[in-house]
Amino acid sequence: MGSETGKAKRNIIVGQSGGPTAVINSSLAGVYKTARERGFDTIYGMLHGIQGFLDEKYVDLSTQIHTDMDIELLKRTPSAFLGSCRYKLQEIHEDPEIYERIFRILDNLEIEAFIYIGGNDSMDTIKKLSDYAIVKGHKQKFLGVPKTIDNDLALTDHTPGFGSAAKYIAASTKEIIRDALGLAYNKQNITILEIMGRNAGWLTGATALAKTEECEGPDLIYLPEITFDIDHFLENVKELQKQKESIIIAVSEGIKLDDGRYVCELSGGADYVDAFGHKQLQGTASYLASFLGAEIGCKTRSIEYSTLQRSASHMASRVDIDEAFMVGGAAVKAADEGDTGKMVVIDRVSDDPYMSAAGIYDVHRIANNERLVPREWVNAEGNYITDEFINYIEPLIQGDYQPFMVNGLPQHLVLKK
């Protein structure tokens, strides 16, 4: 290694940021393995992203990942192995000192490449740091690796983390539909599923994957991109009840009325306000279940898939885990070849058979706006998705990595202190 011959070290550092996913650690594994293979000396992991980095919290990953088996276990571990943060870096002119501090730490650690796995804010961090490095003549390379279950990043065909969340949602929806059918006999029941995605309906649409040869799938799907009309909704449900006893409805947590209010604001009940003055709103599905119960008088229930949408590694998609690994590795390769200020993306090379490849985009081209479901991928009535949506999403949930089961439960790789 470089150190032994007195040469300058080639070190690299990687961090994770934003809401975790089931596969963000597979990207970390991809970074680690590729950095090893390309001969980097020390591979650092920043703890809790740039926020921990500023406190000089980092680990030498070789103290954490010892074997190929550890890499496989890391791929099967949900949430951010290194810890995550939600931290928006100031503009350079607003806080030059923080930039000086970051580069001082980078120089001390002899870092050549800085890889950041995260969402829109993380790509913004990559942009600012690479700009600063160029302007100030620092040699470090800055590369971004996308992740988000919400699939709302531009330029990439889809985001790592989305496929696994979609697979968990679709599998759970199939199981819940079976449960509801088993109980429906001479009496109606309605189940309302609440799915993550405040503004983008990609995950809510994924419930339609539950429609398979032995399952009818959900009956109605409401995305946040479409204004929610509660009267129309009630009509739809009443119409369906003439045909079937058990009705399944998927709604995004972020559906809104035409006056801009979230549906979950309609409850009118006791709104708890936390210490920061934030309203703790009741759930959308829970409100709609109460509404239908009162209007129609049948048995209703609401189910929030909640945090498990982003943490259920035990039902992760093999395609997703492999792609997350691929984009992690591609970022290291790009940095090693001299790229900076870029984000790795997933390009869809072919639909059938499905094939994808890593692409590289200038991080300046990534506008900070969310990519929403196109209107033409929702039906005319605005209460279901189209086949184009299904064709797009279906390849992303294929295949599995079997969890490593120890004493009956999935084992994870966790940070040794």
Q: State which of positions 43-82 bind a second copy (CB under 8 A).
A: 47-48, 51-52, 77-81
Q: Is 229 a residue of the active site? A: no
CA atoms within 13 A on the CB side of 304: 14
CA angle 22, 226, 293 (to 5 degrees): 85
User: Contact at 8 Å (CB) between 252 and 223?
Assistant: yes
Q: Which of 167, 256, 342, 371 binds a second copy (CB under 8 A)?
A: 167
Q: Which is nearer to a second copy, 70 or 131 (CB)?
A: 70
- Count of Cβ atoms closer than 10 Å to residue 379 Cβ: 13
| CA separation for the pair 326, 329 (Å, rounded) | 5
H-helix or E-strand spanning residue 35: helix 24-37
Q: Which is nearer to a second copy, 74 or 330 (CB)?
A: 74
Question: For residue 248, which of 218, 205, 272 has the smallest C-alpha distance?
Answer: 218
CA–CA distances in Å: residue 242 to residues 45, 160, 187, 220, 415: 58, 41, 12, 15, 55
Q: What character string, x for contact with a second copy (CB under 8 A) and - otherwise, covers 10-49?
A: ------x--xx--------------------------xx-
Rule CB under 8 A: is residue 214 a binding residue for a second copy? yes
Q: State which of positions 307-326 bind a second copy (CB under 8 A).
A: 307-308, 310-315, 317
User: Contact at 8 Å (CB) between 345 and 47?
Assistant: no
Q: Which of these ranges, 117-125, 182-190, 329-337, 369-377, lies near a second copy under the rule CB under 8 A?
A: 182-190
Rule CB under 8 A: is residue 301 a binding residue for a second copy? yes
Rule CB under 8 A: is residue 183 a binding residue for a second copy? yes
Rule CB under 8 A: is residue 98 a binding residue for a second copy? no
- CB 265, min distance to a second copy, A: 13
Q: State which of positions 130-159 bind a second copy (CB under 8 A).
A: none
Residues 6+ apart with CB under 8 A from 70: 64, 413
Q: State which of positions 238-277 bind a second copy (CB under 8 A).
A: 267-270, 272-276
| CA separation for the pair 134, 140 (Å, rounded) | 9
Rule CB under 8 A: is residue 288 a binding residue for a second copy? no
Beta-strand ranges (E) seen in 164-268 are 189-195, 220-222, 246-252
Q: Which of these ranges, 99-107, 154-162, 249-257, 281-289, lies near a second copy under the rule CB under 8 A?
A: 281-289
Give the chain's length.
Answer: 417
Q: Which of 241, 290, 347, 357 binds a second copy (CB under 8 A)?
A: 290
Q: Which of 41, 121, 124, 150 is catalytic?
A: 150
- CB 4, min distance to a second copy, A: 34
| CA separation for the pair 41, 120 (Å, rounded) | 30
Q: Which is nearer to a second copy, 49 or 341 (CB)?
A: 49
- CB 176, min distance to a second copy, A: 6
Q: Which of 84, 122, 236, 383 binds a second copy (CB under 8 A)?
A: 84
Residues with a catalytic annotation lie at: 150
